[in-house]
Protein backbone atom coordinates (compact mmCIF):
# COMPACT_ATOMS: atom_id res chain seq x y z
CA UNK A 1 0.00 0.00 0.00
CA UNK A 2 1.33 3.42 -0.90
CA UNK A 3 1.32 5.87 2.02
CA UNK A 4 -0.49 8.44 -0.11
CA UNK A 5 -3.45 6.06 -0.43
CA UNK A 6 -4.23 6.49 3.25
CA UNK A 7 -6.51 9.49 3.67
CA UNK A 8 -7.95 9.05 7.14
CA UNK A 9 -7.06 7.61 10.52
CA UNK A 10 -3.36 7.56 9.71
CA UNK A 11 -1.10 7.68 12.75
CA UNK A 12 2.18 9.21 11.59
CA UNK A 13 5.35 8.64 13.60
CA UNK A 14 8.19 11.09 13.10
CA UNK A 15 11.37 9.13 13.77
CA UNK A 16 14.13 10.86 15.74
CA UNK A 17 16.32 7.79 16.05
CA UNK A 18 15.02 5.81 19.02
CA UNK A 19 15.73 2.08 18.91
CA UNK A 20 12.07 1.65 19.89
CA UNK A 21 10.48 3.75 17.13
CA UNK A 22 9.52 0.70 15.09
CA UNK A 23 7.70 -0.69 18.11
CA UNK A 24 5.41 2.34 18.22
CA UNK A 25 4.43 1.61 14.62
CA UNK A 26 3.83 -2.06 15.35
CA UNK A 27 1.87 -1.52 18.57
CA UNK A 28 -0.51 0.89 16.87
CA UNK A 29 -1.09 -1.48 13.96
CA UNK A 30 -1.98 -4.20 16.47
CA UNK A 31 -4.95 -1.99 17.36
CA UNK A 32 -6.18 -2.22 13.73
CA UNK A 33 -5.06 1.34 13.02
CA UNK A 34 -2.68 2.09 10.19
CA UNK A 35 0.58 3.69 11.30
CA UNK A 36 3.53 4.83 9.28
CA UNK A 37 7.01 5.97 10.27
CA UNK A 38 8.97 8.63 8.37
CA UNK A 39 12.06 10.66 9.17
CA UNK A 40 11.60 13.25 11.90
CA UNK A 41 13.25 15.82 9.64
CA UNK A 42 10.87 15.27 6.74
CA UNK A 43 9.54 18.37 5.02
CA UNK A 44 6.23 19.86 6.06
CA UNK A 45 4.83 18.92 2.64
CA UNK A 46 5.77 15.27 3.21
CA UNK A 47 3.74 15.38 6.40
CA UNK A 48 0.75 17.28 5.04
CA UNK A 49 0.54 15.04 1.95
CA UNK A 50 -0.06 12.07 4.25
CA UNK A 51 -2.94 13.87 6.00
CA UNK A 52 -2.44 12.25 9.42
CA UNK A 53 -5.03 12.27 12.19
CA UNK A 54 -2.38 11.92 14.90
CA UNK A 55 1.35 12.59 14.90
CA UNK A 56 3.72 10.90 17.35
CA UNK A 57 7.19 12.32 17.89
CA UNK A 58 9.54 9.46 18.75
CA UNK A 59 12.39 9.28 21.19
CA UNK A 60 15.98 9.58 20.07
CA UNK A 61 19.63 9.60 21.19
CA UNK A 62 20.04 13.35 20.75
CA UNK A 63 19.82 16.36 23.04
CA UNK A 64 17.60 19.22 21.94
CA UNK A 65 20.54 21.50 22.80
CA UNK A 66 22.97 19.77 20.44
CA UNK A 67 24.09 21.52 17.28
CA UNK A 68 21.85 20.48 14.39
CA UNK A 69 19.62 18.44 16.72
CA UNK A 70 16.79 16.96 14.60
CA UNK A 71 13.43 18.68 14.81
CA UNK A 72 10.10 18.92 13.06
CA UNK A 73 9.96 21.44 10.17
CA UNK A 74 9.10 25.12 10.34
CA UNK A 75 5.35 25.61 10.29
CA UNK A 76 4.68 22.27 11.95
CA UNK A 77 3.01 23.69 15.07
CA UNK A 78 0.83 26.02 13.03
CA UNK A 79 -0.17 23.13 10.73
CA UNK A 80 -1.24 20.72 13.47
CA UNK A 81 -3.15 23.40 15.40
CA UNK A 82 -4.95 24.69 12.32
CA UNK A 83 -6.00 21.16 11.33
CA UNK A 84 -6.86 19.88 14.80
CA UNK A 85 -4.19 17.17 14.73
CA UNK A 86 -3.28 15.51 18.01
CA UNK A 87 0.44 15.33 18.84
CA UNK A 88 2.10 12.94 21.30
CA UNK A 89 5.78 13.38 22.12
CA UNK A 90 7.68 10.41 23.55
CA UNK A 91 10.96 11.00 25.41
CA UNK A 92 12.96 13.22 23.00
CA UNK A 93 9.62 14.04 21.37
CA UNK A 94 8.31 15.47 24.64
CA UNK A 95 11.44 17.58 25.00
CA UNK A 96 11.00 18.93 21.46
CA UNK A 97 7.44 19.99 22.27
CA UNK A 98 8.53 21.69 25.48
CA UNK A 99 11.41 23.53 23.85
CA UNK A 100 9.63 24.57 20.65
CA UNK A 101 6.50 25.80 22.43
CA UNK A 102 8.31 28.08 24.87
CA UNK A 103 9.33 25.83 27.76
CA UNK A 104 12.76 24.84 28.95
CA UNK A 105 14.72 21.58 28.78
CA UNK A 106 17.78 21.03 30.93
CA UNK A 107 20.23 18.33 31.88
CA UNK A 108 18.59 16.15 34.51
CA UNK A 109 20.14 16.17 37.97
CA UNK A 110 19.59 12.41 38.03
CA UNK A 111 19.51 10.56 34.74
CA UNK A 112 16.76 7.97 34.44
CA UNK A 113 17.38 4.70 32.61
CA UNK A 114 15.53 1.41 32.83
CA UNK A 115 12.50 0.51 34.90
CA UNK A 116 11.13 3.34 36.99
CA UNK A 117 7.95 3.95 38.98
CA UNK A 118 5.83 6.97 38.08
CA UNK A 119 2.90 8.45 39.97
CA UNK A 120 -0.15 10.28 38.67
CA UNK A 121 -0.16 13.78 40.19
CA UNK A 122 -3.21 15.30 38.53
CA UNK A 123 -6.63 13.70 38.23
CA UNK A 124 -7.73 15.26 34.97
CA UNK A 125 -9.08 12.36 32.93
CA UNK A 126 -6.51 13.03 30.21
CA UNK A 127 -3.58 10.78 29.32
CA UNK A 128 -4.17 8.45 32.25
CA UNK A 129 -7.92 8.15 31.79
CA UNK A 130 -9.70 7.03 34.93
CA UNK A 131 -6.58 6.80 37.09
CA UNK A 132 -6.49 8.89 40.23
CA UNK A 133 -3.87 11.00 41.95
CA UNK A 134 -1.44 8.69 43.72
CA UNK A 135 -1.86 5.78 41.32
CA UNK A 136 1.51 4.29 40.37
CA UNK A 137 2.85 2.16 37.54
CA UNK A 138 6.16 0.82 36.28
CA UNK A 139 7.51 2.35 33.05
CA UNK A 140 10.69 2.22 30.98
CA UNK A 141 12.79 5.38 31.06
CA UNK A 142 15.77 6.27 28.88
CA UNK A 143 16.81 9.92 29.07
CA UNK A 144 19.41 12.33 30.38
CA UNK A 145 17.75 15.68 29.61
CA UNK A 146 14.40 16.57 31.15
CA UNK A 147 11.72 19.24 30.99
CA UNK A 148 12.34 21.79 33.73
CA UNK A 149 9.86 24.51 32.73
CA UNK A 150 6.66 23.85 30.78
CA UNK A 151 5.19 26.04 28.06
CA UNK A 152 2.19 28.16 29.02
CA UNK A 153 -0.98 26.06 29.25
CA UNK A 154 0.78 22.74 29.88
CA UNK A 155 0.32 20.76 33.07
CA UNK A 156 2.31 17.96 34.69
CA UNK A 157 0.11 14.87 35.06
CA UNK A 158 2.72 12.35 36.26
CA UNK A 159 6.13 12.40 37.92
CA UNK A 160 8.84 9.82 38.47
CA UNK A 161 9.95 8.58 41.88
CA UNK A 162 12.84 11.04 41.64
CA UNK A 163 10.43 13.91 41.05
CA UNK A 164 11.13 14.31 37.35
CA UNK A 165 8.37 15.20 34.91
CA UNK A 166 7.02 11.94 33.42
CA UNK A 167 3.92 13.14 31.53
CA UNK A 168 2.49 16.49 30.42
CA UNK A 169 -0.52 17.64 28.45
CA UNK A 170 -2.31 20.62 27.02
CA UNK A 171 -5.70 19.29 25.85
CA UNK A 172 -6.72 22.69 24.48
CA UNK A 173 -3.85 22.67 21.98
CA UNK A 174 -3.98 18.87 21.60
CA UNK A 175 -0.35 18.43 22.66
CA UNK A 176 0.64 15.58 24.96
CA UNK A 177 3.99 14.22 26.11
CA UNK A 178 5.50 11.20 27.87
CA UNK A 179 9.05 11.11 29.19
CA UNK A 180 8.96 7.30 29.15
CA UNK A 181 8.42 4.66 26.44
CA UNK A 182 4.87 3.22 26.51
CA UNK A 183 5.58 1.09 23.43
CA UNK A 184 8.00 -1.34 25.11
CA UNK A 185 6.90 -4.40 27.07
CA UNK A 186 8.86 -3.07 30.05
CA UNK A 187 6.05 -0.51 30.43
CA UNK A 188 3.26 -3.02 31.31
CA UNK A 189 0.47 -0.43 31.10
CA UNK A 190 1.87 1.26 28.02
CA UNK A 191 -0.52 -0.34 25.53
CA UNK A 192 -3.46 0.63 27.72
CA UNK A 193 -2.29 4.24 27.57
CA UNK A 194 -1.78 4.19 23.79
CA UNK A 195 -5.21 2.62 23.31
CA UNK A 196 -6.84 5.24 25.54
CA UNK A 197 -4.95 8.09 23.84
CA UNK A 198 -5.85 7.05 20.30
CA UNK A 199 -9.43 5.89 20.79
CA UNK A 200 -10.72 8.01 23.68
CA UNK A 201 -8.71 11.22 23.38
CA UNK A 202 -8.05 11.42 19.64
CA UNK A 203 -11.27 9.71 18.53
CA UNK A 204 -9.53 7.42 16.05
CA UNK A 205 -11.55 4.42 14.86
CA UNK A 206 -10.16 0.92 14.28
CA UNK A 207 -10.78 -0.21 10.75
CA UNK A 208 -7.50 -1.10 9.09
CA UNK A 209 -7.78 -4.66 7.77
CA UNK A 210 -5.43 -6.85 5.78
CA UNK A 211 -8.17 -7.32 3.17
CA UNK A 212 -7.95 -3.57 2.56
CA UNK A 213 -4.19 -3.84 2.19
CA UNK A 214 -4.58 -6.57 -0.43
CA UNK A 215 -7.16 -4.64 -2.44
CA UNK A 216 -5.21 -1.40 -2.28
CA UNK A 217 -1.92 -3.06 -3.23
CA UNK A 218 -3.52 -4.80 -6.21
CA UNK A 219 -4.79 -1.39 -7.39
CA UNK A 220 -1.31 0.08 -6.97
CA UNK A 221 0.33 -2.74 -8.93
CA UNK A 222 -2.22 -2.50 -11.75
CA UNK A 223 -1.75 1.27 -12.00
CA UNK A 224 2.05 0.94 -11.92
CA UNK A 225 2.44 -1.89 -14.44
CA UNK A 226 1.27 -1.03 -17.92
CA UNK A 227 -1.11 -3.38 -19.77
CA UNK A 228 1.72 -4.68 -21.97
CA UNK A 229 4.47 -4.72 -19.33
CA UNK A 230 6.01 -7.92 -18.01
CA UNK A 231 7.39 -8.49 -14.52
CA UNK A 232 10.10 -10.74 -13.08
CA UNK A 233 9.75 -12.09 -9.55
CA UNK A 234 12.57 -13.81 -7.71
CA UNK A 235 11.19 -16.63 -5.58
CA UNK A 236 13.21 -17.98 -2.66
CA UNK A 237 10.65 -20.32 -1.14
CA UNK A 238 10.31 -18.08 1.89
CA UNK A 239 7.24 -16.28 3.17
CA UNK A 240 8.05 -12.84 1.79
CA UNK A 241 8.77 -13.66 -1.84
CA UNK A 242 5.95 -16.21 -1.95
CA UNK A 243 3.30 -13.76 -0.74
CA UNK A 244 4.70 -11.00 -2.95
CA UNK A 245 4.57 -13.27 -6.00
CA UNK A 246 1.04 -14.43 -5.25
CA UNK A 247 -0.13 -10.84 -4.83
CA UNK A 248 1.46 -9.65 -8.07
CA UNK A 249 0.16 -12.71 -9.92
CA UNK A 250 -3.35 -11.90 -8.71
CA UNK A 251 -2.92 -8.38 -10.09
CA UNK A 252 -1.37 -9.03 -13.51
CA UNK A 253 -1.73 -12.77 -14.17
CA UNK A 254 0.58 -14.47 -16.66
CA UNK A 255 2.63 -11.35 -17.27
CA UNK A 256 4.48 -12.34 -14.10
CA UNK A 257 7.55 -14.51 -14.74
CA UNK A 258 9.11 -16.15 -11.67
CA UNK A 259 12.69 -17.31 -11.32
CA UNK A 260 14.41 -19.21 -8.56
CA UNK A 261 18.14 -18.47 -8.26
CA UNK A 262 20.45 -21.02 -6.69
CA UNK A 263 23.29 -18.77 -5.58
CA UNK A 264 25.26 -21.55 -3.93
CA UNK A 265 24.32 -20.15 -0.52
CA UNK A 266 21.10 -22.08 0.02
CA UNK A 267 20.18 -24.57 2.73
CA UNK A 268 20.40 -28.35 2.45
CA UNK A 269 18.59 -29.61 -0.70
CA UNK A 270 16.77 -26.28 -0.91
CA UNK A 271 16.66 -26.14 -4.70
CA UNK A 272 14.86 -29.44 -5.22
CA UNK A 273 12.55 -28.96 -2.26
CA UNK A 274 11.51 -25.44 -3.17
CA UNK A 275 11.07 -26.10 -6.89
CA UNK A 276 8.92 -29.13 -6.10
CA UNK A 277 6.69 -27.06 -3.83
CA UNK A 278 6.33 -24.23 -6.35
CA UNK A 279 5.10 -26.61 -9.02
CA UNK A 280 2.87 -28.71 -6.76
CA UNK A 281 1.28 -26.11 -4.48
CA UNK A 282 1.59 -22.67 -6.04
CA UNK A 283 1.16 -23.65 -9.69
CA UNK A 284 3.40 -20.78 -10.71
CA UNK A 285 5.65 -21.04 -13.77
CA UNK A 286 9.13 -20.88 -12.27
CA UNK A 287 12.47 -21.13 -14.03
CA UNK A 288 15.40 -22.34 -11.93
CA UNK A 289 18.71 -20.62 -12.63
CA UNK A 290 21.78 -22.27 -11.13
CA UNK A 291 24.25 -19.41 -10.66
CA UNK A 292 26.21 -20.91 -7.76
CA UNK A 293 29.55 -20.83 -9.58
CA UNK A 294 29.01 -17.20 -10.55
CA UNK A 295 28.19 -16.10 -6.99
CA UNK A 296 30.86 -18.10 -5.18
CA UNK A 297 33.62 -17.04 -7.56
CA UNK A 298 32.80 -13.37 -6.86
CA UNK A 299 32.72 -14.01 -3.10
CA UNK A 300 36.02 -15.88 -2.94
CA UNK A 301 38.36 -14.18 -0.49
CA UNK A 302 35.82 -11.54 0.59
CA UNK A 303 35.46 -11.20 4.36
CA UNK A 304 33.76 -7.84 4.95
CA UNK A 305 30.04 -8.42 5.72
CA UNK A 306 28.74 -5.36 3.88
CA UNK A 307 30.90 -6.07 0.85
CA UNK A 308 29.54 -9.62 0.74
CA UNK A 309 25.97 -8.34 0.81
CA UNK A 310 26.61 -5.86 -1.98
CA UNK A 311 28.32 -8.48 -4.14
CA UNK A 312 25.36 -10.82 -3.67
CA UNK A 313 22.90 -8.03 -4.48
CA UNK A 314 24.85 -7.12 -7.60
CA UNK A 315 25.04 -10.71 -8.79
CA UNK A 316 21.31 -11.20 -8.21
CA UNK A 317 20.58 -8.22 -10.44
CA UNK A 318 23.01 -9.54 -13.03
CA UNK A 319 21.10 -12.83 -13.12
CA UNK A 320 17.78 -11.00 -13.37
CA UNK A 321 19.09 -8.86 -16.21
CA UNK A 322 20.27 -11.95 -18.12
CA UNK A 323 16.93 -13.64 -17.50
CA UNK A 324 15.10 -10.57 -18.78
CA UNK A 325 17.13 -10.67 -22.00
CA UNK A 326 16.06 -14.26 -22.56
CA UNK A 327 12.45 -13.31 -21.91
CA UNK A 328 12.78 -10.41 -24.31
CA UNK A 329 13.74 -12.80 -27.08
CA UNK A 330 10.85 -15.06 -26.18
CA UNK A 331 8.20 -12.37 -25.69
CA UNK A 332 9.43 -9.74 -28.10
CA UNK A 333 9.36 -7.28 -25.19
CA UNK A 334 11.76 -6.84 -22.31
CA UNK A 335 10.33 -7.12 -18.77
CA UNK A 336 10.22 -3.76 -17.03
CA UNK A 337 9.81 -4.58 -13.35
CA UNK A 338 11.37 -6.72 -10.63
CA UNK A 339 9.32 -7.85 -7.62
CA UNK A 340 11.07 -8.04 -4.26
CA UNK A 341 9.69 -9.06 -0.88
CA UNK A 342 11.18 -6.14 1.03
CA UNK A 343 9.51 -5.75 4.44
CA UNK A 344 9.11 -2.72 6.67
CA UNK A 345 11.86 -3.87 9.10
CA UNK A 346 14.26 -4.05 6.11
CA UNK A 347 13.42 -0.45 5.25
CA UNK A 348 13.70 0.78 8.84
CA UNK A 349 16.96 -1.05 9.55
CA UNK A 350 18.55 0.13 6.32
CA UNK A 351 18.17 3.83 7.17
CA UNK A 352 21.40 5.81 7.07
CA UNK A 353 22.82 7.27 10.29
CA UNK A 354 22.39 10.76 11.79
CA UNK A 355 24.14 13.46 9.85
CA UNK A 356 23.38 11.95 6.45
CA UNK A 357 20.64 14.50 5.85
CA UNK A 358 18.02 11.83 5.19
CA UNK A 359 17.04 10.38 8.56
CA UNK A 360 18.11 10.12 12.17
CA UNK A 361 17.84 6.36 12.61
CA UNK A 362 21.06 4.43 13.12
CA UNK A 363 22.00 1.89 10.47
CA UNK A 364 21.72 -1.69 11.75
CA UNK A 365 22.46 -3.50 8.50
CA UNK A 366 22.06 -3.14 4.78
CA UNK A 367 19.79 -5.68 3.15
CA UNK A 368 20.55 -6.92 -0.36
CA UNK A 369 17.16 -5.75 -1.62
CA UNK A 370 17.42 -2.35 0.03
CA UNK A 371 20.98 -1.27 0.65
CA UNK A 372 22.97 -3.35 -1.86
CA UNK A 373 21.42 -2.62 -5.22
CA UNK A 374 23.73 -1.23 -7.91
CA UNK A 375 22.99 2.29 -9.13
CA UNK A 376 22.74 1.18 -12.76
CA UNK A 377 20.06 -1.46 -12.15
CA UNK A 378 17.95 -1.71 -15.32
CA UNK A 379 14.76 -3.12 -13.77
CA UNK A 380 12.30 -0.97 -11.83
CA UNK A 381 11.32 -2.28 -8.40
CA UNK A 382 7.93 -3.42 -7.18
CA UNK A 383 7.95 -3.91 -3.41
CA UNK A 384 4.34 -4.71 -2.45
CA UNK A 385 5.16 -5.64 1.16
CA UNK A 386 7.44 -2.74 2.02
CA UNK A 387 5.05 -1.27 4.60
CA UNK A 388 4.30 -4.57 6.34
CA UNK A 389 5.85 -6.50 9.21
CA UNK A 390 6.46 -10.26 8.97
CA UNK A 391 3.37 -11.31 10.93
CA UNK A 392 1.26 -9.01 8.76
CA UNK A 393 2.71 -10.67 5.65
CA UNK A 394 1.68 -14.08 7.00
CA UNK A 395 -1.84 -12.73 7.62
CA UNK A 396 -1.96 -11.42 4.06
CA UNK A 397 -0.73 -14.79 2.80
CA UNK A 398 -3.65 -16.56 4.48
CA UNK A 399 -6.09 -14.27 2.70
CA UNK A 400 -4.32 -15.06 -0.58
CA UNK A 401 -4.58 -18.82 0.11
CA UNK A 402 -0.83 -19.32 0.19
CA UNK A 403 -0.09 -22.85 1.55
CA UNK A 404 0.36 -22.98 5.31
CA UNK A 405 3.73 -24.67 4.86
CA UNK A 406 5.06 -21.57 3.16
CA UNK A 407 3.63 -19.19 5.70
CA UNK A 408 5.13 -21.07 8.64
CA UNK A 409 8.64 -21.26 7.24
CA UNK A 410 11.24 -19.52 9.34
CA UNK A 411 12.73 -16.40 7.73
CA UNK A 412 15.78 -16.96 5.57
CA UNK A 413 18.04 -13.99 4.75
CA UNK A 414 18.41 -12.77 1.18
CA UNK A 415 22.20 -13.19 1.26
CA UNK A 416 21.63 -16.78 2.41
CA UNK A 417 24.33 -18.68 4.27
CA UNK A 418 26.81 -15.88 3.54
CA UNK A 419 25.63 -14.11 6.71
CA UNK A 420 26.01 -17.32 8.70
CA UNK A 421 29.65 -17.88 7.82
CA UNK A 422 31.68 -14.97 9.24
CA UNK A 423 34.55 -14.30 6.86
CA UNK A 424 35.14 -15.99 3.50
CA UNK A 425 32.14 -18.20 2.67
CA UNK A 426 34.20 -20.23 0.20
CA UNK A 427 36.79 -21.31 2.78
CA UNK A 428 37.32 -25.09 2.77
CA UNK A 429 34.04 -26.98 2.94
CA UNK A 430 32.34 -24.49 5.29
CA UNK A 431 29.14 -24.36 3.22
CA UNK A 432 28.70 -28.13 3.14
CA UNK A 433 29.38 -28.45 6.86
CA UNK A 434 26.94 -25.65 7.68
CA UNK A 435 24.19 -27.18 5.52
CA UNK A 436 24.49 -30.53 7.28
CA UNK A 437 24.54 -29.00 10.76
CA UNK A 438 21.59 -26.73 9.97
CA UNK A 439 19.57 -29.65 8.60
CA UNK A 440 20.12 -31.72 11.73
CA UNK A 441 19.21 -28.78 13.98
CA UNK A 442 16.01 -27.82 12.13
CA UNK A 443 14.83 -31.41 11.79
CA UNK A 444 15.36 -31.95 15.52
CA UNK A 445 13.25 -28.86 16.22
CA UNK A 446 10.47 -30.18 13.98
CA UNK A 447 10.65 -33.63 15.55
CA UNK A 448 10.32 -32.03 19.00
CA UNK A 449 7.15 -30.23 17.88
CA UNK A 450 8.51 -26.77 18.70
CA UNK A 451 9.13 -25.39 15.20
CA UNK A 452 6.10 -23.07 15.33
CA UNK A 453 7.13 -21.72 18.73
CA UNK A 454 10.35 -20.37 17.26
CA UNK A 455 10.61 -17.31 15.03
CA UNK A 456 13.89 -18.34 13.45
CA UNK A 457 16.42 -21.10 14.02
CA UNK A 458 19.67 -21.82 12.22
CA UNK A 459 23.30 -22.84 12.56
CA UNK A 460 26.39 -20.68 12.18
CA UNK A 461 29.82 -21.81 10.98
CA UNK A 462 32.49 -20.31 13.21
CA UNK A 463 35.78 -19.43 11.49
CA UNK A 464 37.89 -21.07 14.19
CA UNK A 465 39.40 -24.48 14.89
CA UNK A 466 39.07 -26.09 18.30
CA UNK A 467 40.72 -29.03 20.00
CA UNK A 468 38.65 -32.15 20.58
CA UNK A 469 38.78 -35.88 21.20
CA UNK A 470 36.89 -38.12 18.78
CA UNK A 471 37.41 -41.86 18.44
CA UNK A 472 40.15 -41.76 21.11
CA UNK A 473 42.11 -39.40 18.91
CA UNK A 474 42.95 -35.74 19.26
CA UNK A 475 41.17 -33.57 16.66
CA UNK A 476 41.54 -30.00 15.52
CA UNK A 477 38.20 -29.31 13.86
CA UNK A 478 35.51 -26.70 13.34
CA UNK A 479 33.12 -25.17 15.87
CA UNK A 480 29.52 -24.30 15.06
CA UNK A 481 26.91 -22.25 16.89
CA UNK A 482 23.17 -22.80 17.13
CA UNK A 483 20.77 -19.86 17.19
CA UNK A 484 17.02 -19.89 17.86
CA UNK A 485 14.93 -16.86 18.76
CA UNK A 486 11.36 -15.92 19.54
CA UNK A 487 9.91 -12.70 18.16
CA UNK A 488 6.74 -11.06 16.89
CA UNK A 489 8.11 -9.11 13.96
CA UNK A 490 11.87 -9.64 13.90
CA UNK A 491 12.60 -6.14 15.17
CA UNK A 492 13.31 -7.38 18.70
CA UNK A 493 13.95 -10.99 19.71
CA UNK A 494 14.81 -13.20 22.66
CA UNK A 495 16.68 -16.51 22.55
CA UNK A 496 14.60 -19.66 22.76
CA UNK A 497 14.89 -21.68 25.98
CA UNK A 498 15.56 -25.26 24.88
CA UNK A 499 15.34 -28.18 27.29
CA UNK A 500 18.77 -29.46 28.26
CA UNK A 501 18.07 -32.94 26.88
CA UNK A 502 17.20 -31.48 23.48
CA UNK A 503 20.48 -29.57 23.33
CA UNK A 504 22.42 -32.60 24.51
CA UNK A 505 20.88 -34.82 21.83
CA UNK A 506 21.41 -32.26 19.04
CA UNK A 507 25.01 -31.61 20.01
CA UNK A 508 25.82 -35.31 20.06
CA UNK A 509 24.14 -35.93 16.73
CA UNK A 510 25.96 -33.06 15.04
CA UNK A 511 29.39 -34.10 16.29
CA UNK A 512 28.73 -37.76 15.44
CA UNK A 513 27.22 -37.12 12.01
CA UNK A 514 29.06 -34.15 10.54
CA UNK A 515 32.70 -34.80 9.72
CA UNK A 516 34.86 -31.83 10.62
CA UNK A 517 32.86 -30.57 13.63
CA UNK A 518 33.94 -31.20 17.21
CA UNK A 519 32.29 -28.38 19.14
CA UNK A 520 28.70 -27.00 19.32
CA UNK A 521 27.89 -23.67 20.98
CA UNK A 522 24.53 -22.02 21.75
CA UNK A 523 23.91 -18.32 21.07
CA UNK A 524 21.91 -16.92 24.02
CA UNK A 525 21.93 -13.23 23.04
CA UNK A 526 18.76 -11.21 22.57
CA UNK A 527 18.13 -8.49 19.98
CA UNK A 528 19.18 -5.90 20.99
CA UNK A 529 22.10 -5.90 21.70
CA UNK A 530 22.82 -8.37 18.89
CA UNK A 531 21.04 -8.83 15.59
CA UNK A 532 19.34 -12.14 14.81
CA UNK A 533 21.79 -13.03 12.06
CA UNK A 534 25.52 -13.02 12.76
CA UNK A 535 26.49 -10.69 9.91
- pLDDT at res. 354: 35
Indicate whether 172 and 43 sit together in one domain.
Answer: yes
Instruction: Confirm whether residue 506 is marked as ligand binding.
Output: no
**Catalytic residue (one of 181, 196, 230, 257):** 181
Is 58 in the same domain as 186?
A: yes
The residue from 341, 376, 408 where one domain ends is 408
Residue 449's domain is classified under what CATH number? 3.30.300.10
Point out the domain boundary residue: 181, 201, 221: 201
> 160, 175, 201: which is the final residue of a domain?
201
43 appears as a binding residue in the annotation: no
Residue 67 lies in a domain: yes
Q: Give yes or no: residues 152 and 243 share one domain.
A: no
Does 492 count as an annotated binding residue? Answer: no
Same domain, yes or no: 165 and 61: yes
What DSSP character marks residue 279? I
Both 192 and 59 in a single domain?
Answer: yes
For residue 449, what pLDDT is reported?
96
**Residues 62, 110 within the same domain:** yes
Examine residue 297 and state whether it is found in any structural domain, yes or no.
yes
Kindly state whether residues 328 and 378 are assigned to the same domain. yes
Q: Is residue 1 assigned to a domain?
A: no
Kindly state whether residue 469 falls inside one of the protein's structural domains: yes
Q: Give me the number of domains the chain comprises.
A: 3
Q: Are residues 118 and 264 in the same domain?
A: no
Write out pLDDT tens, residues 128-146: 887 888 889 999 887 667 8
Known catalytic membership, residue 37: no
CA distance 429 to 135: 62
pLDDT at residue number 534: 94
The reply to whether 214 and 194 lie within a common domain is: no
Q: Is residue 461 part of a domain?
A: yes
With a cut of 70, which residues of the chain have pLDDT below it? 1-8, 108-113, 124-125, 143-144, 347-377, 471-472
Q: How far is CA 517 from the centre of its chain?
A: 33
Task: For residue 359, say whether it is annotated as part of any ligand binding site.
Answer: no
Provide the residue range defining the domain that includes 453. 429-522
In a domain, 109, yes or no: yes
Q: Within this chain, do residues 145 and 253 fall inside the same structural domain, yes or no?
A: no
C-alpha triplet 176, 177, 182: angle, nearest 5°: 115
| Same-domain status, 177 and 222 | no
* SS3 at position 19: coil
| 112, 146, 183, 395: the active-site residue | 183
Give yes or no for a contact between 60 and 360, defined as CB atoms under 8 angstroms apart.
yes
Is the CB of residue 37 less than 8 Å from the CB of residue 68?
no
pLDDT of residue 110: 61
Annotated binding residue at 248?
A: no
The pTM of the whole model exceeds 0.85: no
84 is in an annotated binding site: no
DSSP string, 14-47: EE-S-TTHHHHHHHHHTTT--EEEEETT--HHHH
Catalytic site residue from 37, 91, 202, 511: 91
Asked whether residue 147 is assigned to any structural domain, the reply reads: yes
- Asked if 233 is an active-site residue, the reply is no
Query: Which residues 6+ apart lie within 8 Å of 424 measured at CB?
Result: 299, 300, 301, 302, 303, 463
CATH assignment of the domain containing 293:
3.40.50.620
Q: Is 163 annotated as a binding residue?
A: no
Q: What is the pLDDT of residue 356?
A: 40
> The domain that contains 76 carries what CATH number?
3.40.50.880
Residues 435 and 468 in one domain: yes
Amino acid sequence: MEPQAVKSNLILILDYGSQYTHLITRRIRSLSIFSLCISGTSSLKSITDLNPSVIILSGGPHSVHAHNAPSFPDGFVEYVEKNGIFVLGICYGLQLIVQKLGGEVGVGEKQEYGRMVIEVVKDCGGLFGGKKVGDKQVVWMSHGDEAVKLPVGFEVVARSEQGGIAAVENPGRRFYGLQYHPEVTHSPEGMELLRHFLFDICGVTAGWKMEDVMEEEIKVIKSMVGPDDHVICALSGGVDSTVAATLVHKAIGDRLHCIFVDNGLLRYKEQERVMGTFEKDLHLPVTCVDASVQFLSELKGVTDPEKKRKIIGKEFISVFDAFSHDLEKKLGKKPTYLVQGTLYPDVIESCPPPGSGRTHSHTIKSHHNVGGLPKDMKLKLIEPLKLLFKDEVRELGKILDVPVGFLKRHPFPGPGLAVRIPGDVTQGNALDILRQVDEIFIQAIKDAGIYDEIWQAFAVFLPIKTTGVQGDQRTHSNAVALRAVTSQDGMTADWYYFEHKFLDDVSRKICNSVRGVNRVCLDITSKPPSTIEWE
